[in-house]
């Protein structure tokens, strides 16, 4: 069977679909004739059915046409098939249905990293380090095991039952469990802890439906520990729901402050303002961003910066300021079509240019690295036409993304080729998984709490020798120069991964922030009243 991928044909099909949809909503301009377009398309399809040399798969043809045409519009308009809608929405909806474990594939085995607290597996007593070796009586080890294999067998409708057999170190016999699946939350907050006696730290990885509940829970937890100031880490946060970004911004801003506005050719101006609600209107605030922070992350950091509510620390954000709306097609699939742009309170357009096409747009981060922007602040140049001023008359720039108040260079010296090879081949991960599996009772006895582990556990030379031998077995020979360059980072990664595998993600981040330049700078600024105030004073 032969597929027809003519670009003109693809463009015509998608125009027909969009023309039909919008014509029913009276938003097409008077100069366009959707009926003429539809007639042309229908004629073209009749000709193809009647005269084309090979058989065609018409639904597949149209789907490919939609995909290719949306690529020509902008980098963020997208087609989602009916089959993929649930998967696409899952991270933002904030839950799925399954047995409730985080896992990794380790030596062709399903290794439980941790049961989800309160989930079905946790309630039955499944533990970190358990290995799922049978599912519904079928052997679940070997080369056939991949993520899809696990998802297909362990996820399922709430109320259904799956039988698993588990190998637990120290037990001679397998342990059998019948697990009744349930709704499992997907957390959008990776870490919550106190950076110092008065400063709380929250790392948010996405803006999902559950994010505000999680944020309030984290805020409450930190307040019981004496929090007065807050570091909100949005680095690597690619965004999510607009309304959640507005609600999070509202936590920090006084009443009736413009948070963000949107407008497009066929989308009227829409403004979103703060209310009297919100739990952190006072107290010093630092928001951390980097080149991976996009969309909703940029709405929050832009609002905080424009109203001089806090200090933005890091590197220029991604620059994704296009609004997508879902439009359902007759077969249940969805077009996520860009309908408007985001603007910060001062009027800065968050979206970076995409005039040179999607390929060039997606290569922007590589270009930033090549031109030195990730390392040298003075490599970033903004034209005078993009000058804007905050509520306290501080100069900020538009042109795509949010430029931080304090620039933190990417430390390329830590990322040696040796370190990259260790990451690429999963050596750090596999070593720490094995270490925790072999030393679980010892860790539990010597370090009854994470705090005692963090204070007293160190990666000594004896442990490093074992690590080097493990790395060589995995195909990564010791590179003395590369190790010397990345030594501090490698050791902290090992300690942090051990903490994660034994405790949780909070523990991982609490360890790794000890060598995180951006985090350390944020803590320094928030503890220096004079410096904090100085950064919020006009530089004109």
Residues marked as catalytic: 295, 306, 320
Burial class from Cβ neighbours inside 10 Å (0-12, 13-18, 19+) for residue 456 reads exposed
CA atoms within 13 A on the CB side of 446: 12
Cα–Cα distances in Å, from 394 out to 245, 262, 313, 386? Answer: 24, 23, 15, 14
Is 78 in a helix, a strand, or coil? Answer: strand
191 closest CA partner among 205, 206, 207, 203: 203
- Could you give the CA distance from residue 356 to residue 337 in angstroms, rounded to a whole number? 19
The CA-based angle 403-409-415, given to 5 degrees, is: 135
Task: Assess contact for 236 and 228: CB atoms under 8 A.
Answer: no
For residue 493, give every residue at least 6 positions away whose Cβ sits within 8 Å of its Cβ, in sequence order, or none: 428, 512
Instruction: Show the beta-strand stretches assigned E in 390-526.
Output: 395-397, 406-407
Q: How many CB atoms lie within 10 A of CB 18?
A: 20
The CA-based angle 117-119-123, given to 5 degrees, is: 90
Question: Which tokens sit at 210?
Answer: 């559950």
* Sign, Cα dihedral of 24, 30, 36, 37: negative
DSSP state of 503: S
Task: Assess contact for 234 and 204: CB atoms under 8 A.
Answer: yes
- Could you give the CA distance from residue 415 to residue 435 in angstroms, rounded to a whole number? 24
Burial class from Cβ neighbours inside 10 Å (0-12, 13-18, 19+) for residue 314 reads buried
Could you tell me where the DSSP H helices lie in 307-426?
A: 358-362, 364-370, 417-424
């Amino acid at each position: 069977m032969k597929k027809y991928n003519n670009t003109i044909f693809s463009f015509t099909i998608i125009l027909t679909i969009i023309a039909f949809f919008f014509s029913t909503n009276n938003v097409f301009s008077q100069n366009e004739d959707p009926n003429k377009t539809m007639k042309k398309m229908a004629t073209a399809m009749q000709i193809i059915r009647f005269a084309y040399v090979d058989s065609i798969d018409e639904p597949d043809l149209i789907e490919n046409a939609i995909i290719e045409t949306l690529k020509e519009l902008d980098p963020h308009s997208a087609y989602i098939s009916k089959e993929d809608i649930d998967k696409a929405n899952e991270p933002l909806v904030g839950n799925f249905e399954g047995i409730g474990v985080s896992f990794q594939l380790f030596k062709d085995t399903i290794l439980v990293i941790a049961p989800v607290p309160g989930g079905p597996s946790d309630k039955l007593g499944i533990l970190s380090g358990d290995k799922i070796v049978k599912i519904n009586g079928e052997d679940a080890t070997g080369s056939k095991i991949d993520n899809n294999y696990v998802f297909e067998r362990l996820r399922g409708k709430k109320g259904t039952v799956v039988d698993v057999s588990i190998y637990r170190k120290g037990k001679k016999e397998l342990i059998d469990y019948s697990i009744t699946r349930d709704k499992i939350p997907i957390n959008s907050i990776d870490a919550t802890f106190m950076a110092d006696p008065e400063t709380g730290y929250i790392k948010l990885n996405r803006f999902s439906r559950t994010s505000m509940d999680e944020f309030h829970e984290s805020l409450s937890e930190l307040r019981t520990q004496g929090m007065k100031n807050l570091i909100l880490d949005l680095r690597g946060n690619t965004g999510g729901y607009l309304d959640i970004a507005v609600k999070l911004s509202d936590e920090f801003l006084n009443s009736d402050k413009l948070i963000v506005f949107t407008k497009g050719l066929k989308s009227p101006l829409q403004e979103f303002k703060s209310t009297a609600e919100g739990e952190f209107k006072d107290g010093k605030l630092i928001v951390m961003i980097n080149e991976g922070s996009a969309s909703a992350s940029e709405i929050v950091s832009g609002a905080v910066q424009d109203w001089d509510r806090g200090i933005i620390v890091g590197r220029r954000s991604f620059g994704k300021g296009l609004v997508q709306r879902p439009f359902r097609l007759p077969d249940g699939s969805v077009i996520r079509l860009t309908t408007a742009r985001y603007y910060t309170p001062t009027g800065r357009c968050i979206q970076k240019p995409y005039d040179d096409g999607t390929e060039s747009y997606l290569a922007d981060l590589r270009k930033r690295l090549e031109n030195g922007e990730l390392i040298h602040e003075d490599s970033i140049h903004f034209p005078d036409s993009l000058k804007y001023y905050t509520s306290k008359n501080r100069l900020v720039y538009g042109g795509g993304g949010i430029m931080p108040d304090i620039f933190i260079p990417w430390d390329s010296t830590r990322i040696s080729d040796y370190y990259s090879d260790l990451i690429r081949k999963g050596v750090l991960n596999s070593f720490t998984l094995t270490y925790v599996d072999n030393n679980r009772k010892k860790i539990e006895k010597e370090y009854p709490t994470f705090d005692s582990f963090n204070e007293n556990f160190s990666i000594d030379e004896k442990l490093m020798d074992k690590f080097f031998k493990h790395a060589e077995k995995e195909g990564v020979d010791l590179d003395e120069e590369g190790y010397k360059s990345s030594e501090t980072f490698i050791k902290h990664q090992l300690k942090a991964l051990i903490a994660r595998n034994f405790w949780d993600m909070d523990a991982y981040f609490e360890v790794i922030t000890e060598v995180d330049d951006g985090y350390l700078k944020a803590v320094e600024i928030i503890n220096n009243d004079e410096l904090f105030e100085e950064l919020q004073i006009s530089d004109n």
